[in-house]
Amino acid sequence: MSQDTAGAGFARLLRELKERSGHSYGTLGKRLHMSTSTLHRYCNGDVVPTDYAPVERLARLCKASPDELVELHRHWVLADANRPRKGGEPAAAPSPAPDPVSTPEASVVRLSGAPAPKERRRHRGAAYAGLAVAVVAGAIALTANLSARDTDGPDGPVGAAAAPPGAGQRTGDRTASAAPSGASDPASAPASPGPAGAAGATGTGSAPVSAPPPGRGDAPAAGAPVKVTTQPYSWESPCDQHYLIDKPPAEVAPPPLERDAPAWAAAAGAVSAGGQYLTLTLQGAGKETVVLDGLTVRTAGKRAPLAWNDYAMGYPGVGCGSGVPTRTFNVSLDATRPAAVPEEGQPNFPFKVSESEPEVFYIRAGVAANDVSWYLELSWSSGPRHGTLTIDNNGKPFRTSGHTGRPGYEFPLGGNGWAAAGTAS
């Protein structure tokens, strides 16, 4: 789908919502704290917003239905993926990240056998020594990781995500792709450590992958049929969103906007409390149709709930509304074997996606009696190919803890600090 077609469809939906609302651009701009000219450019298709959050606020203000919200999100995904860069071409994938154990001097070693420049030859010994040290350190870390694993029932080790057979590449805050099953790699990279010692799951039989840097917009790997963008800090409603933080109120910043939640949570060392709401955007990497066969929940670790303070994101006295989008799956992390169960009345797997027909899944994971590290496995098939894609938080498991009975705090609208709000329930 061309950028013009994708952008035109997105703009058309925005215009229809705006016109149906009966509000002027000026009225909408004031209520959304946006300039009139910016809204006009969005609705005319002159500009595709880089962030979906203002688009969703505009749609909700215009009384969009849950189905309309899903359709608008799909069109924004397509328009954003085909956004032109300088020169008029769609955005290309960034260059591959360098090997994390490489040094500037090591990177000049020529595998083709061509002689290196004279001024760099004298550094070659140091480069080889640096590589040797890095390899030995990696082997020691892997050995320690394997020897420290203790099993925690059938779902895997405590504090570490076991590498499930046949798992594909992991995804995080940015787009990643699944490698087709059957690809061989005798030297898979060790899993990176996750929160509380947990490790992201990297399956056997897939190409080694470096953890992606923050951001969004990676292109799929060659031959991969599906890509997933994960938003692990989505909010179904600010009033329902809580975080546990091991800090007193005076050391915690005010509640962020939803789009700023990842950075806020990282800076505060926050863990989603009582539940976690994920948004998964799935799209085919080519013209062929990809069948999404199922979604499996994997437990990487289960512990007693965190004894930290509970911070609510909603402002007291301010109404919080939320729609019920389609493709919502509920997960009970307290269950012995958690499973993704579709919302009542909504369809279950399989689903189909392609380059022009993405899907958006919402995962509502709840927990009360445990502190759980977990991730998802998406199984897919496309013609004779099939595989499994591991979905996690940028190379680490998601982490969600119960918060019942913890000291609660809220931030009054117009206030200058957190105020006690009783105990969380």
pLDDT tens digit sequence for 393-419: 999 999 999 999 999 999 987 788 999
Token representation of residue 277: 């709401």
Q: Work out the widest C-alpha separation in the chain, in whole angstroms.
A: 73
Domains of the chain: 3-81 (1.10.260), 167-423 (no CATH)
State the residue for tokens 């927990």: 367
Question: How many Å apart are CA 403 and CA 409, to the nearest integer?
Answer: 12
Model pLDDT for residues 29-84, shown as the tens digit of each residue:
888 778 888 888 889 888 888 878 788 888 888 888 878 888 888 888 888 877 76
pLDDT at 331: 97
Residue 372 has pLDDT above 90, yes or no: yes
Tell me which of 23-37, 146-160, 367-381 is least confident: 146-160
As a whole number of angstroms, the distance between CA 227 and CA 354 comes to 10
pLDDT at 243: 97
Percent of the chain with pLDDT over 90: 35
**Dihedral, 22, 24, 29, 32 alpha carbons, nearest 10:** -10
Between 96 and 274, where is the model more confident? 274
pLDDT of residue 220: 43
Beta pairing class for 371-382 and 419-423: unpaired
Q: Residue 319's pLDDT is what?
A: 52
Residue 419's closest CA among 194, 255, 193?
Answer: 255
Q: What is the DSSP letter of 324?
A: -
* 0.85 exceeded by pTM: no
**CA-CA-CA-CA torsion sign (234, 255, 173, 46):** positive
- Cα–Cα nearest to 374, from 156, 99, 75: 156
pLDDT tens, position by position, 212-270: 333 333 334 445 699 999 999 998 877 789 999 999 999 999 999 888 999 999 999 99
Q: Cα–chain-centroid distance for residue 152? A: 26
Does residue 201 contact residue 145 with C-beta atoms inside 8 Å? no
Helices then strands, counting H and E runs in the chain, come out as: 8, 17
196: left (phi over 0), alpha (psi -120 to 50) or beta: left
Q: Rounded mean pLDDT of 362-370?
A: 96
Q: Is 37 helix (H, G, I), strand (E, B) or coil?
A: helix
Residues with Cβ within 8 Å of residue 165, at least 6 apart in sequence: 203, 204, 205
Residue-wise pLDDT for 94-113, tens only, equals 333 333 333 333 333 333 33
d(CA 135, CA 200) in angstroms, rounded, equals 20
Q: What is the pLDDT at residue 321?
A: 53
pLDDT for position 5: 66
What is the Cα–Cα distance from 357 to 78, expressed in whole angstroms?
A: 9
